[in-house]
Amino acid sequence: MILKIHKTLLMKKCILIFPVLFLIISSCKINDFVAPNWEVEGNLSFVSRDYSVAEMLKKQQNLYIDSVSNDVVLIATVDDRDEIGTSLKFDGIAKTTNTIVFNRDTVLSLDFDDSSFVRKAIFISGNVLLNFNNPNSFPYSFNLTVNNLKNKQTNQSYTTSRTVSANSTLNFSISLGDYYVDNGGNLLNTLLFDINSSASQQGFTTFDYSVTETIVDYVSGKVKPITSKNVQDTIIEPFGTNAPTNPIIISTIKKSEFIIKNYSESQITLRRAYFVGENKNTLNKIRLLYDFDGNGTLDSFYTISIPRRNAGEPFGEARLQVTSTNSNILQFLGNVPFNVFYERDQVFNSDYTDATLNSNDSVITKFYADIPLRFQSKDYNSYRDTIKSGFTQRQRDKITNIRNIKLTTTLINGIALQMKAKITIADSNNVPLLVLTERVQNPEPDGFVTVAAANVGSDGTVLPNGQVTRVIESELNADDVLRILSFGNVFVELQYITNPNAGLIRVKGDDFSIIRSIGVLTYFVEIE
């Protein structure tokens, strides 16, 4: 009964409340909904990069990490190949005068070289020049055969028939590029002429014979030494890319040597050989001085003989160890040459023995050195990295409402080198749009930010927890943001140098640097 009474009272109260609510609502004017403007923040990572020395070396074929000492080792490589090519030649023969008796055979052996005796020689170019004279009042005819001069196409001996008018001279030449000499296994330095002449009267006449300089493709025999003077080559980037670009002071060389390979069957001698290295930035040139003969004197020029390739072997070889005691290798390589100029006289078949030579026979000169990076530098060297980045589509959609970007850039240097960092925002075509590191308080004139070298021990190695950290704050306004709307790349350039007055430092494979640049974007959003 009590429950029933309560229920009735409740129903009466509800009936009274609903009319009141209805009256209130029906008496109000409802306006259209307007979304509020909210200022919000979002994060954008411009750069987040860890640079271990090992990681930096992945792009550098001329560096490696010693698995035992963990030293970073820089490799200097000079690699030069030179073929005999047009150096394989005979000097020719000056004009000689020879007699022909009419109406009989004249057999002559005429030199084509003064001191090279060949079994076979294949010519590339050159000429035999012939002038048949006739001071007589009657003509004569002749058939000429050069028995050991064979046509490359037919393998037949050179033959020609001519007539020489009275009181005249007949001039013609034999182009040796179409021929080869075959002496049937005998060593000869002559062309074998067989001339059969005929005339209406008895008598004689003369002809002049000479041979121009002749370039040879192949020769077998006892060939006089063939010298190519002042052979010059330039080897670019012997240290590869991303190596130091300015001179450094090197403390040690792990290993260095010349390796010269001779792919011909003749001894080759390099005379008056030398190397000069030129630094790209300073243009400073240093010549490699080397005690090639072991007499205790560092020589400006070296003479090196490379043995012939023996039967069944791919090449003959000479190996010469280069050390800090028998050369100035520390100074030469410490100059960090971008160009190495290599000059020498090359003498093929220098021992004047029976040999076989081809124009494509070659000599390869290799010089390499392993240099542990224990050094001191007086100038900055650099490393460059490109990072793909950019605004998301959602960020681009809201970009016109962005007020600013507040940037916090953290640089951690765990390498025993003072470091400078420059961060450049560029578009997808690598056109620079803005330099982030210029937007700090009291920026440096060159746009870099400097971080001190990591703390090192007595051996020049970074101490545990010896890394140095620098945090910088900067801000981009709305105009800056619009300028970099299309950015697609971020360039990070690191420059490094040993601390002023520091001793020799040691770079190891697990040394590192870290760069983080995080932006907080402030922009307006309309809530729909």
Percentage with pLDDT > 70 across the chain: 77
> 357: how many CB neighbours lie within 10 A of its CB?
23
pLDDT, tens only, 315-331:
999 999 999 999 999 99
pLDDT bin (cut points 50, 70, 90) of residue 525 is very low
Confidence of residue 413 (pLDDT cuts 50, 70, 90): confident
- A 10 A CB-CB count for 490 gives 22
Give dist(CA 354, CA 120) in Å, integer.
Answer: 12
Question: What is the rounded distance in angstroms from the CA atom of residue 143 to the CA atom of residue 160?
Answer: 6
- CA 327, CA 450: separation in Å to the nearest integer? 37
pLDDT band at 60 (very low <50, low <70, confident <90, very high): low
- Is the pLDDT at 524 greater than 50? The verdict is no
Average pLDDT over residues 41-51: 59
The larger pLDDT score, comparing residue 305 to residue 86, is at 305
Measure the N-to-C terminal CA separation of the chain; round to a whole number of Å: 55
Structure tokens at 512: 């590192």
Mean pLDDT of 490-498: 81
Q: Taking residues 425-444, what's their average pLDDT?
A: 85
| Highest mean pLDDT (candidates 202-211, 480-489, 519-528) | 202-211
Number of other CB atoms surrounding residue 526 within 10 Å: 11
pTM above 0.75, yes or no: no
Name all domains of the chain by residue range, CATH numbers in brackets. Answer: 39-63+378-526 (2.60.120), 72-84+225-372 (2.60.120), 92-212 (2.60.40)
Is the separation of the CB atoms in 418 and 496 below 8 Å? yes
pLDDT at 520: 58
Average pLDDT score, the chain: 81
Q: What is the pLDDT of residue 379?
A: 67
What pLDDT, in 10s, does the model give residues 368-403?
Answer: 788 777 666 666 666 777 777 777 777 666 666 667
Please determine, for residue 162, whether its predicted confidence score (pLDDT) is greater than 50: yes
Q: What angle do CA 226, 228, 229 make, to 5 degrees?
A: 135
What 3-state class would DSSP assign to 400? helix
At residue 137's C-alpha, the angle toward residues 134 and 138, to 5°, is: 80
Q: Is the dihedral of CA 309, 315, 321, 322 positive or negative?
A: positive
The region of weakest confidence among 31-35, 239-243, 412-416 is 31-35
pLDDT at 41: 42
| pLDDT band at residue 44 using 50, 70 and 90 as cut-offs | low
Q: Give the pLDDT band of residue 53 (cuts 50, 70, 90).
A: low
Main-chain phi, psi angles of 441, to 5 degrees: -70, 135
The pLDDT value given to residue 253: 84
